[in-house]
Amino acid sequence: MVATLQDIRNKVRRITGRTSDSQITNGEIDNYINTFYVYDLPEHLKLDSLKVNYQFLTTANQAIYDFDPEVYLVNMPPVYIAGYQSYMTQSRENFYRVNSTFQYKQDSVAVGNGTPGPYTGILTTTYIMQGYKRNPPGAYSGSTTVLPRDIIWGILFSGKGVAGTNGIAPSINLIDDGQGNLFDPADLNCNPAAARGTINYITGAFTLTNFASNIDNLQPINAQYVAYRPSRPQSVIYFNNQFMLYPVPDQAYMVSFEAFKYPTSLVNVGDTPQLMEWWQLLAYGAADKIFADNADFENMAKFRPLLDEQMRLVQRRTITQYSSERTASIYTEQTQFAQFPFGNMFGGI
């Protein structure tokens, strides 16, 4: 069957007129093919063949879950949690309007004694919302400089230091990293080995090993945090490549929704596209990029109609797939399933 990577290479060579390895190597052609296949094609066409059922299991007392944007193009509602259709949004305003996460302030969880610590105690309210890292650790391209973890804190311990000559006492703080470790907010790397204390999110027990400087004698150390009662989540927000579920799960639940997944690169000469009918589109797409990189705009314009034709042909399967069914809405099941007029969305519509 004519649809392998080798077949696509051969067609690219015929289209571009570069039949010799001295003009362009197979490795270079493969890069053009896979660039178009993995990155351009999913952006040009939202094909039904690229749609998958994305699932993950929740963990008790964990609200935040990562979504890999390098593997999946986009995620879409509706979302189902334990089989219940649940609320899903990308608006922080809407999400927090429904799910209030007010920070509770508990005064004098410990009292300063003129030293940086240690201080210990137990918070009165158990089940405390943990912080999380907004971006995973990484490195700048071509550099060994480590990026900060960019912590979004869940709990804040705060006390006053010794007043300066101006009479103003500085505020000295500790925040959590979502893993039960406490750090000075200025410590962007948040290396666990350099933690300045610990917090148990379930029991509320804490140890403030050492603040960045002394807490003034008899000055109260206060805590601010979000308390919650775990149960089955009923709503989800997608923000910054992460999902936040609320209420916070009390056990494992299956979360499921639709997502578009990037295709897998073609590596071996016998590899074929996800659907073999795409092979000519990949050849024209790769050739278009070769023309662009070589400023060959005459041939680029000449072959663009053939590239557009292949795009329309490839999209035809998805169009045909959906042409026999009307667009789904909250009213669809009222005519199809009269005994279930409001679907299964938790709390009704």
Q: Identify the segments of the chain with pLDDT beneath 70.
A: 1, 133-151, 328-349
Report pLDDT for 85.
Answer: 92
Q: For 231-243, write each residue's pLDDT tens digit.
A: 999 999 998 888 9
Residues 81-90 have pLDDT tens digits of 999 999 999 9
Structure tokens at 77: 């509602």
**What rounded mean pLDDT belongs to the chain?**
87
Q: Which residue has the tokens 């290396």?
A: 191
Residue 94, phi then psi, degrees to nearest 5 = -65, -40
Going by DSSP bridges, is the β-strand pair 84-89/104-111 parallel, antiparallel, or unpaired?
A: unpaired
pLDDT of residue 335: 55
User: For residue 285, what are the contacts with CB-CB under 8 A and spacing of at least 6?
Assistant: 33, 36, 37, 40, 41, 307
Per the CB < 8 A criterion, the answer to whether 311 and 44 are in contact is yes
Cα separations in angstroms, 95 against 105, 143, 229, 238, 239? 22, 38, 18, 10, 11
- Asked whether the CA dihedral 229, 233, 238, 244 is positive or negative, the reply is positive
> What pLDDT is stored for residue 48 in this prediction?
87
Angle between helices 5-16 and 26-34 (to 10 degrees): 100
pLDDT of amino acid 345? 53
Give me the half-sphere count of Cα atoms (radius 13 Å) on the Cβ side of residue 280.
Answer: 13
Alpha-carbon distance values, 91 to 64, 81, 244, 324 (Å)? 16, 19, 12, 33
pTM for the whole thing? 0.79
Note if the bond before 118 is cis, omega within 30 degrees: yes
